[in-house]
Amino acid sequence: MKKFLIFSLIFVFLVTQAAAITWTWENHSTITHWLVQVTEDESDCGGSTTVKTVPVTILHTKDIADISDFGHGKMTGSYKDDILTMQPRTIKDGQGNSKLSKIALKFTPDCLRFSGRYSWDYIDSSGTCSGVTTLRADRTDSKSCPESKQPSEADESTTADPEKKYKDILAKDPTNFWANWDMAELKKNEKKYDEYLKYVDAATKNENIFKETGEKLKQRAATSLHLSEFPSPTSSPILRYEMDELDDWPGGYVNNVLVPKEQVNNKEAWYRKWWAIKKEKAYQIIRDLASAENKNE
Amino acid sequence: MNKINILTIIGLLFIAGCIPQHPDPYYAQNTASCTTKDCFISAANDCNDLTMTLTEKAGVIQYSSSKDCTFTKTMISLDAKETQEMKTLLEGKSLTCRYERGKFDRKWVNSLLLGTENCEGQLKDILVDLVAFL
């Protein structure tokens, strides 16, 4: 009996340790709330050191996180283990601009605190000065690390017949974005590419959801590519080249899907559709973005 | 016909023999070299060892093929109008595509986005990700 108890305790200990080791922010999509103490040293700018407490929300989408404004505007960063990094950027700041250094926020293993420090250079018509901002945050919405992602409405019957579930939804609402999007992924996995295209078409024509998620997609792309500003076909010759290529494309195969040439009235929707077919992880990326958005409602 | 005429004819024949018979530089001196995309595509289709660098609208791009039928496209430099961040993002990045002799995909040379499904490399992923900004 004694041996059984000892082995049971060891087993439980190992299981909990394994769970602790494998948990990372990068694997979760959720919303967290924090109270952030912001200490700003403006002494070089003719000011003093000020301390204020700001409520902050973080929208986690796997390795990408959107942080609400704690003093230098909303930011988006990327996770690597317990460190959330925002790339250097320049923002409008009052009458001038502030050039922020790279910001690295270190989260505690229990997911209840984070801290970080960054410098900034302020420039306006009267001159320049520099300062430092220190952040210390405490979690306010929970006493533990976030749970795994909750299943969404279209996922409810994954153990039953998902195709039937999606078809039932589409019978009542043919434009339902998630049923079309999930059905597309199902057909892609079955290598039924004609049907896949039909559902991708329907999903990407849903202006409401795909357009909103499109904005999140841009933010996510900017963060993962370390771009502080969105490039555009006007500002970037290579992006212009890509746009011209897609506009002039006569149709053809993309990832085994025969995509016909379209009469494009809505170019943005066409580019999004092309991206959805070309990008291998498009399904999961959109799912993760929307999962985090749903929790924000 | 006097000696001078004979020597002239021999000289002209000798010169004619030295002029390359193929205008396509691919075959020059038994070493593959190209300055045009069509030439490169033809040489790469035969899995020749060669490298070609072109200045295009997207920037300066290097195309390479090798005897083991591997194609590599490298972004050497972007247009001067690009931001420093875009240059940092793309310059030096490459993609690689493997193929069978006789089955080189022209799209790898003629396009930035098309035909790269079975290719690998940071350049491929970045170019697709940039479509999100259109």
**A103: buried, middle or exposed (CB in 10 Å: 19+, 13-18, 0-12)?**
buried
Round to whole Å and give the CA distance between B127 and B108: 13
Write down the pLDDT at residue A292.
63
Cross-chain residue pair B131–A278, CB shorter than 8 Å: yes
Per-residue pLDDT tens, chain A, 297 aa: give them.
777 777 666 665 555 555 445 578 888 888 888 999 999 998 888 888 999 998 898 888 888 888 888 888 888 889 988 999 998 888 888 888 899 999 999 999 999 999 999 999 999 988 899 999 999 999 988 888 887 544 444 444 444 578 888 999 999 988 888 889 999 999 998 989 999 999 998 888 877 777 777 888 898 899 999 999 999 999 999 999 999 999 999 889 999 899 987 766 778 888 988 999 999 889 888 888 776 655 443
Give the number of C-alpha atoms closer than 13 A to the C-alpha of residue A118, restricted to the C-beta side.
Answer: 24
SS3 A186: helix
pLDDT at residue number A35: 92
Tell me how far apart the alpha carbons of residues A169 and A175 are, in angstroms, rounded to a whole number: 9
* Of B106 and A28, more confident: B106
Q: What gap in Å lies between CA A135 and CA A132, rounded to an integer? A: 10
Identity of the residue in B58, B89, B127 whose CB atom sits nearest the CB atom of A226: B89
Contact between residue B112 and residue B129 where contact means Cβ atoms under 8 Å apart: no
Q: Specify the DSSP class assigned to residue A148.
A: P
Do residue B85 and residue A242 have CB atoms under 8 angstroms apart? no
Q: What is the CA radius of gyration of chain A?
A: 24
The pLDDT value recorded for residue A246 is 93
B positions 20-49 inside 8 Å of A (CB)? none
What are the CA-CA distances from residue B10 to residues A169, A265, B6, B21, B94 (Å)?
Answer: 87, 69, 6, 18, 52
User: How distant is the alpha carbon of residue A30 from its chain centre?
Assistant: 10
Question: Which member of B85, B112, B114 has the closest CB to residue A227?
Answer: B85
* Candidates A238, A278, A280, partner chain B, best to mutate (most B CBs within 10 A): A238
pTM passes above 0.95: no
Supply the pLDDT for residue B29: 41
Check CB contact of B68 with chain A, cutoff 8 Å: no
CB distance A67 to A76 below 8 Å: yes
CB A235 within 8 A of CB B83: yes
Q: What percent of chain B has pLDDT over 70?
A: 84
Predicted local distance difference test score (pLDDT) of residue B53: 97
Of A172, A121, A178, the C-alpha closest to A151 is A178
Count CB atoms within 10 A of the CB of residue A248.
8
Cα-atom radius of gyration of chain B, to the nearest Å? 21
Residue B2 has pLDDT above 90, yes or no: no
Question: Is A237's CB within 8 Å of B88's CB?
Answer: no
Q: Is B60 on the interface with A (CB under 8 A)?
A: no
Contacts of B78 in chain A (CB under 8 A): 237-238
CB of A184 closer than 8 Å to CB of A200: yes
**Residue of B40, B79, B38 lying closest to B56 (CA atoms):** B79
What number is the ipTM of this complex?
0.78
Q: Which residue of B has its CA nearest to A229?
A: B85
Determine the distance in angstroms separating the CA of A26 from the nearest CA of chain B, rounded to an integer: 19
Give me the residues paired with residue A104 across strands: A85
Position A296 scores a pLDDT of 46
For residue A154, the model assigns a pLDDT of 46
- Chain A residues within 8 angstroms (CB to CB) of chain B: 214, 217-218, 220-221, 224-233, 235-243, 245-246, 249, 252, 254-256, 267-268, 271, 274-275, 278-279
Q: What is the pLDDT of residue A278?
A: 94
Q: Compare B72 and A176 and report the one with higher pLDDT.
A: B72
Exposed / middle / buried, residue A260 (Cβ in 10 Å: 0-12, 13-18, 19+): exposed
* Partner-chain residue, chosen from A218, A240, A249, that has the shortest CB–CB distance to B132: A218
Write down the pLDDT at residue B28. 44
Determine whether A112 is exposed, middle or buried from the number of CB atoms within 10 Å of its CB (0-12, 13-18, 19+).
middle
Distance from CA of B75 to the nearest CA of A (A): 11
Using the beta-carbon criterion (under 8 Å), do A238 and B130 form an inter-chain contact? yes
Closest CA to A273 of A285, A282, A281, A265: A282
User: Scanning the structure block, which residue is given the tokens 């000289």?
Assistant: B11
Comparing B3 with A199, the larger pLDDT belongs to A199
Cβ contacts of A218 on chain B, cutoff 8 Å: 132-133
**Residues of A in Cβ contact (< 8 Å) with B111:** 245
Averaged over B71-83, what is the pLDDT?
96
pLDDT value, residue A118: 95
- Chain A CB contacts of B59 under 8 Å are 237-238
Query: How many whole angstroms separate alpha carbon A109 and alpha carbon A145?
Result: 8
**What is the length of chain B?**
134
Q: Which residue has the tokens 């997911």?
A: A111
pLDDT of residue B30: 45
- Closest residue in A to B77 (Cα) is A238
CA distance A56 to A33: 6
